[in-house]
Structure 1
Amino acid sequence: MTFRYGLLVCISLILAGCRKGDAVPSFISIPSMAVNATDVEGGGTSKITDVWVSVDDRLIGVWELPARIPVLRSGSVVVSVTPGVKRNGSFDDRLRYPFYTSYNSTVDLLQEGTVELEPVVEYGTAIVFWMERFQDEGNQLTVTTTSDTTLLLYTAFEHPQVVLDGTSCGGFVLDQAHNGIRIHTTEDFTPTGGPTFVELDYSTDISLTVGMTFEQNGSTSFAPWVVLVPTTAEGGVKWNKVYIDLSEFFNSGGISGRDVYLDAVLPSGQGTGHVYLDNLKLIRRIP
């Protein structure tokens, strides 16, 4: 379910859980929300930006994190928090992420008092994962023959200032002599008919395109889907996470050989470009 951000505030006000006779609110504070992932599910990095909050099974609103939520209830209640993300990194396109569970907790609300929650969610069931975590030299990505540079491995021992979570990451460097690269999976992913997302942690000082490659009518096509803007100035390191929705394209008929690609070209006038990658996942839900 998707909401334009301008609508979120309206929903929060309209559905504010009012009960006749109540005047003094209690408050629920949610500073952030985290994800607990297993080894099979890959790294547990996340960028949960919004929460759908229900009290005793009644939706009271949608809030951007961190949030201090007024509730016109008191006493023991069941609070349910569903995590939301920015689809394709877009500020005004946010949705309940279909692969995370909801957080549920019974709390005692006190009028004018504040209950702070520290929600932790997990990946749900009936999910198919493919991932590249860049833990060793034998990664699962292929560099095209038209690229003039290669994919590198950055270890925590040699590059502690670069890596995201204390382990290795991947990446590449572009310069005037090596100014372009395209890398892609070679899995021929099978569509499930359900939601399909790419998750990616990245730090970049140049634009980075994420798209899908596929076979149609005997030829290979590359369809750009999202352009990720720089997260930092030239030579810096600043990690970000994006959730890219490939569902409609991925599940469309008449194509085969579905794979994911990333490419970058050094901008004119820039001496070098640095891109770092980690926790690349393609996630599909089985309906």
Structure 2
Amino acid sequence: MKYIVLITLIIFFFGSCIKNNSNPIWIEVKEWELIDNPNQNVLENYNPGVLTHGIKDVWLYIDNSLVGVFEVPFRVPVLEEGVKEIRMIPGIHNNGISTTKTRYPFFEPYVTNIDLIENQTYIINPVTMYSTSTKFWIENFESSSNQFVDGNATLSSLIPSNDPSIIDPSINESYFGRISLNNIDNMYIGSSDVFGISGTPIGLPKGTDCYLEIDYHNTADITTGILALSSTDGINNPLVTLNRQFESEVEWKKIYIELREVVSGSTSAQYFEFTLDALLPNGVNSGQINIDNFKAVYF
């Protein structure tokens, strides 16, 4: 309800701006671009992997005053004139929910100075990058020995695939991960190997921002989770279910799953595993789950 009220107030405000000013100043944004950090080659253990993004919004500031939160693409009128600092902060849909608009803490803001002149439209193409303090744990399925292991009870497997009908050069390198389900092999259970191919466990920091990024292309539901492991036990915490897409409409999508609450609440955990669970519903003959750029991002 509060989002409806906010949107109504914004529409009313901008409508009044245009009505009272016949020569408004317009700011127009079409899309975000995610680029390499120019300092990444000199940073230790800094490897963001393939740069895919699902930036949906702009938190727009002019001289440190919030103008509003806008879904790209957009075109909005502004009241300020003269040389102003324009600051744009990338926004995502937290946990894939469109009403949970969130500033993504790992992306740098885009800042520029513009001399705003009445009756002009300023087209801005904002770019962002991961901050230099960002850390990553990544599985991109480029190696035959990926960091996921199939569970003992699973009926299917997570394997690298280079299916040309699925690969998108802007998202995938040479391979992605695939789970195929059918009437017989109708269930998948798996998790990241606690020590991975590098022999290093996944240690996520408590009390700070932490996200899981996934690119996915699926015609079957799959549930993500995080297993908090201590010296004595393990507690599985289901996260988000990636709902199946219709075969006629299936495409690569990206989701940002917030981990801070679960990780911080796992006070005795020493390290973590990511889990994946899928079950083909009765009456459905087959389904496919393709994932890539499975990436834990944290400070």
Is the shorter-chain TM-score for this pair beyond 0.5, marking a shared fold? yes
Q: State the distance in 2 between where 1:219 and 1:235 align.
A: 43
Match of 1:170 among 173, 177, 180: 177
Which range is displaced more, 272-281 or 182-191? Answer: 182-191
Partner of 2:73: 66
SS in 1 for 2:261: helix
User: Unaligned stretches of 5+ in structure 2?
Assistant: 38-45, 195-200
Shift of 1:192: 4.1
Shift of 1:12: 4.3
TM norm structure 1 = 0.88
Partner of 1:6: 4
Letter in 2 for 1:70: P
Shift of 1:100: 0.5
Q: State the distance in 1 between where 2:134 and 2:281 align.
A: 38
Please list, as runs of the form range in 1=range in 2, the aligned pairs for 1:1-287 lying within 5 A after superposition: 5-6=3-4, 8-9=6-7, 12=10, 23=21, 24-37=23-36, 40-155=47-162, 159-165=163-169, 167=173, 168-185=175-192, 186=194, 187-215=201-229, 218-230=232-244, 232-234=245-247, 237-252=250-265, 253-285=267-299
Instruction: Rate the CA distance shift 1:126–1:147 in 2: closer, same or farther, 3 A.
Output: same
Check the 8 A contact 1:37/1:43 in 2, yes or no: no
Check the 8 A contact 1:205/1:236 in 2, yes or no: no
Aligned residues: CA RMSD: 2.5
Check the 8 A contact 2:89/2:109 in 1, yes or no: yes
Q: State the distance in 2 between where 1:216 and 1:131 align.
A: 22
Instruction: Rate the CA distance shift 1:184–1:14 in 2: closer, same or farther, 3 A.
Output: farther
Instruction: Rate the CA distance shift 1:254–1:34 in 2: closer, same or farther, 3 A.
Output: same
Q: State the distance in 2 between where 1:238 and 1:35 align.
A: 20
Deviation per CA, 1:140-162: give whole Å up to 9, x if none. Answer: 1111111111112122xxx2221
TM norm structure 2 = 0.84
* Percent identity for Structure 1 against Structure 2: 28
Which range is displaced more, 137-146 or 185-194? Answer: 185-194
Q: State the distance in 2 between where 1:256 and 1:14 align.
A: 51
Q: State the distance in 2 between where 1:7 and 1:280 align.
A: 36
Q: State the distance in 2 between where 1:4 and 1:91 align.
A: 14
Instruction: Rate the CA distance shift 1:46–1:175 in 2: closer, same or farther, 3 A.
Output: same
Check the 8 A contact 2:237/2:262 in 1, yes or no: no
SS in 2 for 1:251: helix
Q: State the distance in 2 between where 1:132 and 1:178 align.
A: 24
Letter in 1 for 2:254: K
Q: State the distance in 2 between where 1:65 and 1:4 align.
A: 21
Deviation per CA, 1:173-225: give whole Å up to 9, x if none. Answer: 00111111122122342324210100000011111111111236833332211
Instruction: Rate the CA distance shift 1:11–1:258 in 2: closer, same or farther, 3 A.
Output: farther
Check the 8 A contact 1:12/1:63 in 2, yes or no: no
Shift of 1:235: 7.7
Shift of 1:126: 2.0
Shift of 1:51: 0.8
User: Unaligned stretches of 5+ in structure 1?
Assistant: none
- Count of matched residue positions in the alignment of Structure 1 and Structure 2: 276
Letter in 1 for 2:257: I
